[in-house]
A and B are shown apart, each in its own frame.
Chain A
Amino acid sequence: MVNGNLDFEKPLVELESRIAELRRFSKEKNIDLTEEITTLEKKAAKLRHEIYANLTPGQRVQLARHPKRPLALDFINLIFPDFLELHGDRLYRDDHAIIGGLATLEGSPVTVIAEQKGRDTKENIARNFGMPFPEGYRKALRLMKQAEKFGRPIITLIDTPGAFPGLEAEQRGQAEAIAVNLMYMSRLAVPIVVVVIGEGGSGGALAIGVGDRILMLENAQYSVISPEGCAAILWHDASFAPEAAAALKITAKDLFELKVIDEIIPEPLGGAHRDYAETAANVKAAIVRNLQELKKIDVKDLVEQRYAKFRKMGVFYEASEDKEA
């Protein structure tokens, strides 16, 4: 990776910087280079399409973890400009890998819960690289129960490599925190819209991921195990991660086909990092549309449908009938 760009993007990034250079040169020296620039731009558009139209699962993983990819707070700033963050789980401390708070969406109050990675080393340390501790999940649950009390819909944004696996997390009950969230989220009596915006890292993602609608950005990923972890188990070599990414079926398209997500939210060509505003607008439109539908459903039916939604996930056979359930 060079200057925060991915290897497979390199030819495009080089071409784009040449165009920018020509523009600057043309302006400085007052020389008309329109023709040259237009030619290069056409070339760039063609290249962009070639590179991004046929991404491998491994390349999508790189996009989902792209250093410039919009993070939860970027989406929050663009979609919920009046967001007010609320802190702490009222039990232990405030976990900075999970953000929660209140905002309005199209004039109606909502509760927003999001997993937040850091943009640089300093912020990543503060945010624990987006890996929540149990107190993060307990803060999320506290705010979700608050949302239920006041009849506010819940919107969660998923972006985490996973729940933190350290000793302190064990001491404070990481497994219990996740399990309790799964149980309560399945029965909260308000609409829940989940958006996987980047990395959906296993149980750490699912712990804020039980909802009525599961949406996923085009280049996001969602997996039971990291491709590196899977490769280490299967091939005893983490460098087989791209092969593992393909085998695990972790792209938005895969998950849509497996009926785990409801909708794929399109990203600008080249990935979300190329246009934050457009990506956020797409996410917002999808949330608003889904919430409108959910708000029409009687809350009792909503909870019933949510149970049924997860109830039917899975593929198995009854030996006697040989029929897929």
Chain B
Amino acid sequence: MATIKDFFRSKPKYVTVHQPSTDDRREIPDGLWVKCEECGNLLFNKELERSLMVCPKCGYHYRVSARFRIANLVDEDSFEEFDADLIPGDPLGFPAYPEKTRAAQEKTGLKEAVITGRCRIKGIPVILGVMEFGFIGGSMGSVVGEKITRAAERAIETKLPLIIISTSGGARMQEGILSLMQMAKTSAAIGRLDEAGGLYISVLANPCTAGVMASFASLGDIIIAAPKALVAFAGPRVIEQTVREKLPPGSHRSEFVMEHGFVDLIVDRRELRDTLAKLLHFHGRTAVGGVSNG
């Protein structure tokens, strides 16, 4: 650990994220049985959870928390969190912003809308970032921008691949222009990783729009989207309100975006771990035993 520590300009805090999904109860409908919101089939709750909150009947992807994603993606006990102590300020003195962040912190148990860290996927070490939509719509303010930037910089320093699972409504309005600037900051950091020859896989979860989509989420060497995820610069609601265009069915969904050439592949949540491992293998990444320095 000490050697890794020296690599990083800021002191990394290694905190193991709770692996089991027990604190994600709020994401799971109460009761033993649940009726699928999409296909209407009755599902056994346990069954839904076992299939990673994807309906076994119709493939509908229920929204899950960042912790749930991490717990079901990375090797057990391999996740070491970075920068867990970064908390937002209120640079504009924006109406009700501190209350809003406090409520989001209580609701999610997170300090901000992204968790970053280092982990292994099928034994392969990677730097991972996972956004939390439940935290003010996964919006990107200064903390999200800083954590994503640090994750990219760590990927450069450690020569590890970077994987970011993005789900976001865009830049965080409450931090005003500083949120907008996080788009430039994160894109510049991804640019550095690109120049250094580092691998960056961007995974778009439902929904991924606006400021995050128009910055680091669109800059992956490989871009994966979840099935039927809303993936857009401006969501359908924005379009209907501003330009009043009539939209064809399925517009702004992953399949539409892939058809137009902006996504490499669509991957079911249940296949994500395998697909990522495969992609990592194609880039010469192999499993290592124990805690590794890369």
Residues of B within 8 A of A202 (CB): 171, 180, 211
Question: How far apart are A18's CB and chain B's nearest CB, in angstroms?
Answer: 41
| Contact B188 A234, beta carbon cutoff 8 Å | no
> CB of B75 within 8 A of chain A?
no
The reply to whether A313 and B185 contact each other, CB–CB distance below 8 Å, is yes
Interface size class of chain B, counting residues whose CB lies under 8 Å from the partner chain: 35 or more
Q: For B231, give the chain A residue with the smallest CB separation.
A: A175
Asked whether A176 is an interface residue with its Cβ less than 8 Å from the other chain, the reply is yes
From the candidates A169, A234, A258, A306, name the one contacting B233 in the complex (CB within 8 A). A169
**A173–B260 CB distance below 8 A:** yes
Residues in A211-253 with C-beta less than 8 Å from chain B: 222-225, 230, 233-234, 247-250
Q: Counting chain B CB atoms within 10 Å of each CB, which of A182, A230, A318 scores highest?
A: A182
User: What chain B residues lie within 8 Å of A314 (beta carbons)?
Assistant: 141-143, 145-146, 175, 178, 181-182, 185
Closest to A205 in B: B180
Task: Name the one of B179, B184, B234 contacting A170, with C-beta atoms under 8 angstroms.
Answer: B234
The smallest beta-carbon distance between A205 and chain B, in angstroms, is 8
Among B19-27, B83-91, B272-280, the one that faces the other chain is B83-91
Q: Which positions 189-221 of chain B face chain A at CB distance < 8 Å?
A: 189-192, 194-195, 210-211, 213-219
Determine if B254 is an interface residue (Cβ-Cβ < 8 Å).
no
Total residue contacts A-B, CB cutoff 8 A: 199
Q: Which residues of B contact A185 (CB under 8 A)?
A: 184
Given contacts A167-B239, A170-B252, contact A249 B234 (CB under 8 A): no
Chain B residues in 8 Å Cβ range of A315: 89, 91, 142, 175, 178
Report the contact-size class of chain A (Cβ under 8 Å from the partner): 35 or more
- Cβ 8 A contact of A317, one of B89, B194, B234: B89
Give which listed residue, B180, B188, B190, B217, contacts A203 with CB less than 8 A.
Answer: B180
Give the nearest-CB partner of A169 in chain B.
B233
**Does A224 lie within 8 Å of B190, measured CB to CB?**
no
Contact A187-B191, Cβ < 8 Å, known A170-B234, A180-B218: yes
- Which of chain B's residues has its CB closest to A320's CB? B85
Interface check A116, CB cutoff 8 A: no
Contacts A166-B245, A180-B218; A318 near B85 (Cβ below 8 A) = yes
Do A319 and B111 touch (CB < 8 A)? Answer: yes
Residue of A nearest to B111 (CB): A319
Whether a CB of chain A sits under 8 angstroms from the CB of B177 is: yes
Q: A247, B95: Cβ atoms under 8 Å?
A: yes
Shortest distance in angstroms between B195's beta carbon and chain A's nearest beta carbon? 7
Q: Find B181's partner among A179, A180, A260, A320 (CB 8 Å cutoff).
A: A260
| B294 within 8 Å of A (CB atoms) | no
Contacts of A111 in B (CB 8 A): none
Residue of A nearest to B83 (CB): A318
A210 interfacial contact with B, CB 8 Å = yes
Q: A165-B233, A170-B233 are in contact. Are A311 and B188 (CB under 8 A)?
A: yes
Give the chain B neighbours of A46 by CB distance below 8 A: none
How long is the Cα–Cα vector from A260 to B251 in the complex, in angstroms? 35
A238 to chain B, nearest CB (A): 10
Chain B residues, CB < 8 A from A247: 92, 94-95
Q: Is B1 in the interface zone, CB < 8 Å from A? A: no
Does B289 sit at the interface, judged by CB under 8 A? no
A233 and B260 contact, Cβ closer than 8 Å, known pairs A175-B232, A203-B183, A311-B185: no
Q: How far is the CA of A209 from the CA of B183 in the complex (A)?
A: 11
A166 proximity list for chain B (CB < 8 A):
234, 239, 243, 245
Q: Does A156 contact B (CB under 8 A)?
A: no
Task: Check A206–B180 contact: CB distance below 8 A.
Answer: yes
- B242: interface (CB < 8 Å): yes
> Quick check: A313 and B239 within 8 Å, CB to CB?
no
Within 8 A of A (CB), among B235-251: 238-239, 242-243, 245, 247-248, 251
Check B218–A176 contact: CB distance below 8 A: yes
Report chain A residues within 8 Å CB of B188. Answer: 182-183, 186-187, 210, 306-307, 310-311
User: Is there an interface contact between B86 and A222, defined as CB atoms closer than 8 Å?
Assistant: no
A249 CB contacts on chain B under 8 angstroms: 92, 176-177
With A165-B234, A255-B177, A307-B188 known as contacts, the answer to whether A317 contacts B86 (CB < 8 A) is yes
Selected A-B contacts with CB under 8 Å, 13 pairs: A169-B234, A175-B214, A179-B216, A182-B183, A206-B183, A224-B176, A247-B94, A248-B94, A248-B173, A250-B176, A255-B177, A258-B178, A260-B177
Known: A183-B187, A314-B142, A319-B111. 15 other contacts (CB 8 A): A170-B232, A173-B218, A173-B262, A178-B218, A183-B188, A183-B194, A202-B171, A202-B180, A224-B173, A224-B177, A247-B92, A258-B177, A313-B184, A316-B143, A318-B87
Shortest Cβ-Cβ A-B pairs, 7 listed: A314-B142, A165-B234, A186-B188, A182-B187, A179-B218, A174-B233, A319-B85
List residues of A whose CB falls within 8 A of some B CB: 163-167, 169-176, 178-180, 182-187, 202-203, 206-207, 209-210, 222-225, 230, 233-234, 247-250, 254-255, 258, 260, 306-307, 310-311, 313-320, 324-325
